[in-house]
Chains A and B, each alone.
Chain A
Amino acid sequence: MRDPTAAPQYQGLLVRVWRWLAGLVFWSRVQGIARTLRGRMLVALVPTLWLLLFFLVPFLLVFKISLAESVLAQPPFTAIMHWSGEALLELRLNLANYLLLLEDTLYISAYLNSIRIAAISSVFTLLVGYPMALGIARARNTARLILLMLVILPFWTSFLIRVYAWIGILKNNGLLNNLLLTLGLIKQPLPMLHSDFAVFVGIVYSYLPFMVLPLYSTLVKIDQSLIEAAEDLGCRPLSAFWKVIFPLSLPGVTAGTMLVFIPAVGEFVIPDLLGGPDSLMIGKILWSEFFTNRDWPVASAIAVVMLLFLVVPMVIFQRSQEKALDEDGRGRR
């Protein structure tokens, strides 16, 4: 017969021994992992933590604040959670911001307009960029290097200033209108600035390097003998292009198009400086909700919905990026 009061003591001892043993095993495992992976873990951990804190967590906050109400305070939104009474967590979700986006046709038409403008500009960028990438890929070594440099160089100079350059060219008494008037091609200046046309030009111009570089890096890898084989078998140059070169360059086309399309949807500077007052883009609306109306919750809701539109293209882009790098690695090993 055991003494029932002794049992807790006995159990307590057992628990302590067990904890000590488990701690020992755990610690030795930690040490082992740390020894083999210390450097590596740190290397992977630092950027992961940084991006988690400053890139991923902020998106959750945008979602949270899109459910808050706008108030005249600092910061200008309500808390959606607060402790009421003892331990009762009160959750006050406010869907009014999303309803506003649905009800007011301004927002819907701005979303659709942004997607339309970004899509059309991507196609034009592809049309301008493809011959350039092909030409660079076909050039000889030194010329290729110089041509590549020349594509990259404008990308390194200020984006804002490159957009600004087009104001001087496109406005009513600007360079292009003056040129066309002197040539006698037009009688009156064409109102080109503050139109969709100007936005297209601005996007194509600013994002051209993003299209040319991925295109070039797929085109330059295409085996020249494939094209020669096609031509030997009687393929005309144009059909050799459509049947051999273009299909092989599709990964570059995808990457380049996404690199233009996705940021163009949320573009602010180009529609603001070059676009017309009636063609609204969603990036500009988000900006004015935030800075002019100081309605942070509505601005956040706009951002959340914009992200929903962009998730699919972003996943496509990430896949293409991963695939390109994998193939690169395999091809070289």
Chain B
Amino acid sequence: MGEPRFSGKVAIVTGGANGIGAATARRFLAEGAQVAVIDREEPDFAAALAPDQNARLLAVAGDCTDADTLAAFHARAEAAFGPVDILFNNVGQSGRERAAPFHESDEAVWRFVLEVSLFTTLRMARLVVPGMRARGRGRIVNMSSDAALVGDAGLADYAAAKMGIVGFTRSLARENAAFGITVNAVAPGAIRTRAHDRLTPAVLDRIKAGTPAGFIAEPEDVAGCVAFLASDDARYITGQTLAIDGGRWML
């Protein structure tokens, strides 16, 4: 099939050390991209990479909620690999361990959740958009969640942040469509990640029962969707929110 799909492309993945971010970073690497990852942790997959892929990975330790850290990361990525072609704004957290009925919830938790699940996406996008506009091309994929679409009792702040991503995605898509930049969101449902591993068997059974496909998917199932939206095949798709949820949400 000729050249790998992302050969010569530079991709940024925030929160790329494990789970969906890591699966997507590995997918980009496997298809030829140079990939810069920022996370508070070391990527769990780096040691297992083939040498040619490891040479195309830049892993930076840092907290995405810090604006200066993000800016420094962006500068390092461009210094190492060149201009960014693809941004996967993946980092986010539901604060599930502090879930509470909204009327009893704590404003400090709202601020944390909005900071990590919404503001990081806005800040990272602002860093890459000027260069993408100047070059007349770019792909941005933002991480929403089917919690935004379906609603998530106990996590109203998280659902609000993730619906905020949907509105941000549509607006950024409109602003930048004429500059060759597409902006889309993915909204995963039940995916086997660390956050999921902490759920009880009873909760997992309830999730499975509410998912028409009848199973919990792997991070790779999301990576395949992000890679598609980042590819040339998706150049006429912009402003969309793609549910990857085994049919849980169908509107």
Say whether A associates with B: no
Residues of B within 8 A of A (CB): none
